[in-house]
Amino acid sequence: MFRKISQYISAVKGELKKCSWPWESDPKVTGFKKFRELQGSTLVVLVAMVLLGAYVAFFDYVMAAVVTKAILFLS
């Protein structure tokens, strides 16, 4: 069992070394500037989530109003 766990961890480490990390582009950059691309990507994701949430909430509100009006009209 421990051998399988060890093999799994070494395989994961090997795959992570193949990944392209956003902060490896320039070795001279240090500190928070190193994570500028990561911060930009995170901001894009957060803005997209807020916009999608607003879109879904708006249409949920509209559909609830339409269904309520239809129920009142048919009653």
Query: Could you tell me what percent of the chain has a pLDDT over 70?
Result: 93
Mean pLDDT for all residues in the chain? 88
- pLDDT category, 25, cuts 50, 70, 90? low
What sign for the dihedral angle of Cα 45, 46, 51, 54?
A: positive
Give the predicted TM-score (pTM) of the model: 0.57
pLDDT at 27 over 80: no
d(CA 70, CA 61) in angstroms, rounded, equals 14
On the question of pLDDT at 26 being above 90, the answer is: no
pLDDT of residue 24: 60
Is 37 within 8 Å of 25 (Cβ atoms)?
yes
